[in-house]
Amino acid sequence: MIPFGTLVRAELRKTVDVRAARWMLFASALLVAGAEAVPLVFPHNVTQDRASYLTWAALGLSRLLPLVLLMAMTAEWSQRTAMTTFTLEPRRGRVVAAKVLAGLTISVVAGLFALLAGTVAVLAASHAGRVVASGWNWSQLAGFALFIVLTSAVGMAIGAALHNTAAAIVSYFVLAGLFSLLMIPALEKAGDWLNTGTTFGWVLTGDWSGHVAQIAVSAALWIALPLAVGTVRTVRREVH
């Protein structure tokens, strides 16, 4: 059998070896840099501590990175490469698993870049003579990492479930938009369980107390469910 590590390496390569993905990763890097300008330029509006610099970096990263990973999932079907991929490895479930692991690896590397960008921005602010609380808050750092992984996983899961690039991208934005309506007061209770804008926000700010179940439920709805549907569809679907 093809070693699983080999499949992961192949999927990693396929995620970044096409021009569209490279441009989007480059744009993601610019967005992170741009997001870091917010706490730098508006010191009176943004809390000057390391946590808030990291929060801005994570928000910048979470705009496009999930789409890069979504497209890696849909490309097999939209570009019809499934025919080649699944004749090289007919155990399709392994290919899906390798794609997920490759996507998580990319999100971790991107997270390290965001961490670096946040650190540089804090140093720059301090260098400019500003007082920034630069202590490390480990639970906040863990939240930062988990937020990046979770937002990336949502993109992967929706791509895995829908197979079609255009439909997946539209759904990703439209569903996120619809669920953000759950922030309005009358629907707030539901939103606290279903809207990742709310629940992943708690993850990012390290606000875990009383929210663990809510975060888990929203992750199950947005990640585990579509990924499971996508895996079954991929294994069963006829390849033309």
Partner 1 sequence: MISITNLSKRYGAVKAVRDVTFSCEPGTITGFLGANGAGKSTTLRMLTGLTRPDTGSATIGGKAFTELANPARTVGVMLDASALHVGRTGRETMRVAALMTGVPNARADELLAATGLAGAARRRVGTYSLGMRQRLGLALALLGSPSVLILDEPANGLDPEGIAWIRGLLRDHAARGGTVLLSSHLLAEVQATADRLVIIGGGRIVAQGTLRQLLGETGQNLEEMFLSLTSEATTSDATTSEASTSGDSR
> Residues interacting with partner 1, by CB under 8 A?
1-2, 6-7, 9-10, 13-14, 17-20, 75, 79-84, 86-91, 236, 238-240
Q: Give least dist CB 170 to partner 1, A.
A: 20
* 8 Å CB contact between 196 and 155: no
Q: Give least dist CB 112 to partner 1, A.
A: 24
Q: Give least dist CB 28 to partner 1, A.
A: 18
Q: Give least dist CB 21 to partner 1, A.
A: 8
Bridge partners for 133 per DSSP: 49
| CA triple 55-59-65, angle to 5 deg | 135
Q: Give least dist CB 78 to partner 1, A.
A: 9
d(CA 190, CA 195) in angstroms, rounded, equals 8
Closer to partner 1 at the Cβ: 129 or 238?
238
Backbone angles phi, psi at 28, to 5 degrees: -60, -40
Closer to partner 1 at the Cβ: 63 or 94?
94
Q: Give least dist CB 91 to partner 1, A.
A: 7
Closer to partner 1 at the Cβ: 44 or 236?
236
Closer to partner 1 at the Cβ: 2 or 131?
2
Closer to partner 1 at the Cβ: 15 or 48?
15
Closer to partner 1 at the Cβ: 15 or 218?
15
